[in-house]
């Protein structure tokens, strides 16, 4: 049985998701895809300057996993800058900032963006015993 991929918590979703060297037609460029969890790792490690242990805790992953994610992210960013590639940000196993919920039956955890209605069923097992869990960044819960 395949192990379910654990979601990595991200504290934000970027507005700009497409970066391209100016003045070069897109069709002539190679594209690199940076996932949202990789971007979040870059943000926590390199912009916020967190130690890996703290950054890993924020993303709810092990320190080793965080190290792997941030290493992959840095390699991709360097590849784009050095080799003039396009960068697209999308995907990744993430639970974005928003309202977090957890299922008491199967322990599935997920988030929905603000503005969506409260879920009635667990998306994984259809269970209805759903608890609200800690909110996004800045939350005082």
Q: Interface with Zn ion includes 119 (CB under 5 A)?
A: no
Angle separating helix axes 63-83 and 52-59, nearest 10 degrees: 100
| Residue 11: burial class (beta carbons within 10 Å; 0-12, 13-18, 19+) | middle
Indicate the residue among 70 and 103 with the shorter CB distance to Zn ion.
103
Q: Which is nearer to Zn ion, 69 or 122 (CB)?
A: 122
What is the three-class DSSP state of 18?
strand
Region near Zn ion per CB under 5 A, out of 53-61, 71-79, 98-106, 129-137: 98-106
Q: Looking at 18-26, 39-47, 102-110, 129-137, which segment touches Zn ion (CB under 5 A)?
A: 102-110
Contacts (Cβ under 8 Å, ≥6 apart) of 26: 20, 86
Alpha helices in 20-134 (DSSP H): 36-42, 52-59, 63-83
- Per CB under 5 A, the list member of 103, 109, 111, 130 interacting with Zn ion is 103
Q: Does 125 bind Zn ion (CB under 5 A)?
A: yes
Give me 138's structure tokens. 């800045």
What are 59's two structure tokens? 């993303």
Q: With CB under 5 A as the rule, give the number of residues binding Zn ion.
A: 8
Nearest distance from residue 99's CB to Zn ion, in Å? 16
Nearer to Zn ion, 17 or 125 (CB): 125
| Footprint of Zn ion (CB under 5 A) | 103, 105-106, 108, 122, 124-125, 127
């Amino acid at each position: 049985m395949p192990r379910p991929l654990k979601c990595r918590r991200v504290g934000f979703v970027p507005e700009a998701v497409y970066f391209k060297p100016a003045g070069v037609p897109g069709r002539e460029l190679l594209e690199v895809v940076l996932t949202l969890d990789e971007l979040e790792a870059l943000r926590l490690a390199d912009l916020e300057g967190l130690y890996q242990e703290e950054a890993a805790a924020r993303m709810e992953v092990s320190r080793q996993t965080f190290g792997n994610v941030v290493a992959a992210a840095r390699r991709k960013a360097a590849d784009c800058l050095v080799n003039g590639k396009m960068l697209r940000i999308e995907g990744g196993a993430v639970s974005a900032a928003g309202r977090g919920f957890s299922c008491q039956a199967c322990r599935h955890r997920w988030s929905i963006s603000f503005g969506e209605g409260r879920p009635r069923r667990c998306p994984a097992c259809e269970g209805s015993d759903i608890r609200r869990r800690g909110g996004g960044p800045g939350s005082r819960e």
